[in-house]
Amino acid sequence: MEMQTRIKNYWEGEASRYSEGIWREMNSFKKQAWAGLIQRYRPAGNPLKVLDIGTGPGFFAMLTAEMGHKVTATDCTQNMLLEAQNNLEQLGLRAEYVLMDSHALSFADDSFDLILCRNLTWTLRDPQTAYREWHRVLKPKGRLLVFDANWNLRLNDPEWQARYLADMAEAERRGIHRRGHVDPAEGERIAKDLFLSSRLRPHWDAGALIDAGFKEIFINMDISDLVRDEDDKVLYRSTPMFLAGGEK
């Protein structure tokens, strides 16, 4: 089966579980923590035209729509978009929802002020192509904010795997349980072959953003203290969340 089809099928099955997760975030300190990061790095102007790529169940779409911005949310899976729409409607918020491959956007050049994504780029089959495409649809002075982690470098690097196993052992010792996936075996099979599962990030992203044409690059190697609770800091100690961003 072609890789993009496998990725799409896998995430269709994860939609409801991830939706539960974002409501836990919306009802915790994480809502304001993430909103604060977006406010800190977003371009000037109000309201902004925001593109939330790989919206999943709509967490960033919820945050930015609540801020008063005009939001377009895309995902490659219909189930995720349905969850996002339902979640925004529960808060009385609106967005445009578009089923779309993030490598090939149907939007015109210079369409958006701000592009956001979280925990998406590691899933991309060709992230360099995606970065060029995202640069294309940004307006001049527009910004891209990518939040992610080295989630699967461990699958191709024994040293990172050892760190991961140590994290899991410490979590078990403390009675902290990691929320599972619907089909973890298929998830690991897909992840092992993805481009970014063998690249150290955000080091790779810095060069890729420059190659995509961004004039200003900003990197924060570890934002974990801002957006993770104490259990997450144990579970994901060896995979800190980073920010890789750029201005067109």
Helix 78-90 × helix 15-26 angle, to 10° = 30
Give the pLDDT score at 192: 87
Q: Which of 100, 123, 140 is nearest to 195 (CA)?
A: 123
Q: Kindly list the strands in the beta sheet with 216-220, ordered across the sheet, starting from the edge strand earlier in the chain.
A: 96-99, 70-75, 49-53, 112-118, 138-148, 242-247, 216-220
Distance (Å) of CA 73 to CA 68, 186, 239, 246: 15, 26, 27, 20
Q: Which of 77, 118, 117, 87 is nearest to 23 (CA)?
A: 87
Give the pLDDT score at 15: 66
CB contact set of 101 (below 8 Å; sequence gap of 6+):
4, 76
Give the pLDDT score at 177: 85
Mean pLDDT of successive 10-residue segments in the chain (248 residues)?
69 73 95 98 97 97 98 94 96 97 97 97 95 98 98 95 95 87 72 93 98 98 97 96 98
3-state SS of the chain: helix, strand, coil percent to 5? Answer: 50, 20, 35
Omega before 184 cis (within 30°)? no
Report whether 115 contacts 142 (CB < 8 A): yes
Q: Which of 134, 163, 154 is nearest to 146 (CA)?
A: 134
CA distance 219 to 221: 6
Report whether 99 contacts 76 (CB < 8 A): yes
Give the pLDDT score at 12: 63
Give the pLDDT score at 183: 66
Give the pLDDT score at 24: 94
Biggest CA-to-CA distance, the chain: 52
CA distance 109 to 137: 4
Give the pLDDT score at 180: 66
β pairing state of 96-99 and 112-118: unpaired
Distance (Å) of CA 220 to CA 181, 217, 245: 28, 10, 9
CA distance 99 to 182: 22
Q: What is the pLDDT of residues 54-83, one digit of tens each?
A: 999 999 999 999 999 999 999 999 999 999
Phi-psi region of 58 (alpha: psi -120 to 50; beta: other; left: phi over 0): left
pTM: 0.94
The CATH code of domain 3-247 reads 3.40.50.150
Give the pLDDT score at 146: 98
